[in-house]
């Protein structure tokens, strides 16, 4: 059974990584992470943050928040698809190149940290045995 604390921490890591993804994109393309009046980062991040929360709900992420395949992959997929759909309906860009880069980056971020955490836990257990 996963503790509530573990689930909240995993969700927080996901949120930080999605915001980092948006910040990196803004810094790369606009040279200004926050944008006018500080709203730029929020404008870029919100569709993916909504997608992230939907991904957690669809995958029941709180049950196994550290599982790369059971939780990480569905969270990634829903975050990407919902984020792109929300960007499209809100008048933000969804160029094919952006979808590809976002897909790869979010995959590395949302699944990668879970896989790394699992490897680190196995190494820690094997060293203590």
14-24 burial code (b ≥16 CB/10 A, e <16): beebbbebbbe
Q: What is the pLDDT of residue 40?
A: 82
In this predicted structure, the answer to whether residue 9 has a pLDDT above a threshold of 80 is yes
Classify 82 as helix, strand or coil.
Answer: helix
pLDDT tens digits, one per residue of 61-83: 999 999 999 999 999 999 999 99
Highest mean pLDDT among 40-49, 78-87, 92-101, 114-123: 78-87
- At 31 the pLDDT is 63
A 10 A CB-CB count for 83 gives 28
0.85 exceeded by the pTM? Answer: yes
CA-based radius of gyration for the chain: 16
């Amino acid at each position: 059974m996963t503790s509530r604390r573990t689930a909240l921490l995993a969700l927080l890591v996901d949120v930080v990584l999605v915001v980092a993804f948006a910040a990196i994109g803004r810094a790369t393309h606009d040279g200004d992470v926050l944008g006018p009046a500080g709203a730029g980062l929020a404008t870029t991040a919100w569709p993916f943050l909504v997608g992230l929360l939907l991904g957690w709900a669809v995958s029941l992420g709180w049950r196994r928040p550290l599982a790369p395949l059971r939780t990480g992959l569905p969270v990634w997929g829903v975050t990407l698809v919902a984020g792109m759909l929300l960007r499209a309906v809100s008048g933000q860009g969804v160029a094919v190149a952006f979808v590809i880069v976002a897909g790869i980056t979010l995959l590395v971020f949302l699944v990668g940290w879970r896989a790394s955490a699992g490897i680190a836990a196995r190494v820690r257990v094997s060293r203590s045995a």
